[in-house]
Amino acid sequence: MAFGRLERTKGAAPMSDINMTPLIDVMLVLLVIFIITAPLLASSVRLDLPKTEAAKADGTARFITLVLDKSGQVFVNDRPVDAAELARQLGAAAERNPDTEVQLRADTAVPYGRVVEVIGAAQKAGLGRIGFVADPSK
């Protein structure tokens, strides 16, 4: 009995590439789901609030910014002022709203005594809420 040689064809070579289409499809579906549900999570309770004149904002600023540069010059809302003008503006802000916050930005080279003078002027005007603004450390 003679055995002949059986001819075999080579099969397909193994695929070494990743098929990205299913991955992209899944990611797009997840993106659509998040786009649809995100606004619903932000305001889950729908309310129709009553309207009243007393609920309107008074339009005044809730804070005033004081800046002390290297030379000790004071700026109120980015405008340079002298001591008399500083006292007048702080007094006017305290009259409008006694809860106005003073945001103090002082250069590191400013002497401590100058910073205390500005704080004292704010407290004398009737503004007791003073916040010190600093850059976050890296």
Specify the CATH number for the domain of residue 112.
3.30.420.270
Is 92 part of any domain? Answer: yes
- The answer to whether residue 33 sits within a structural domain is no
pLDDT score of 38: 81
Does 4 map to a domain?
A: no
Judge whether 15 lies within some domain.
no
Q: Pull the structure tokens for residue 65.
A: 């910014």
Backbone angles phi, psi at 81, to 5 degrees: -135, 155
Task: Let me know: does 65 contact 77? Beta carbons within 8 Å.
Answer: yes
The count of domains in the chain is 1
78: CB partners within 8 A, 6+ apart: 65, 67
Residue 3 belongs to a domain: no
SS3 78: coil
pLDDT at res. 61: 55
- Structural domain including 99 reads 58-132
Residues of the chain short of pLDDT 50, as ranges, are 44
28 domain residue, yes or no: no
Residue 64 in any domain: the answer is yes
In the beta sheet, which residues pair with residue 103?
A: 65, 131
- Give the per-residue pLDDT at 31: 95
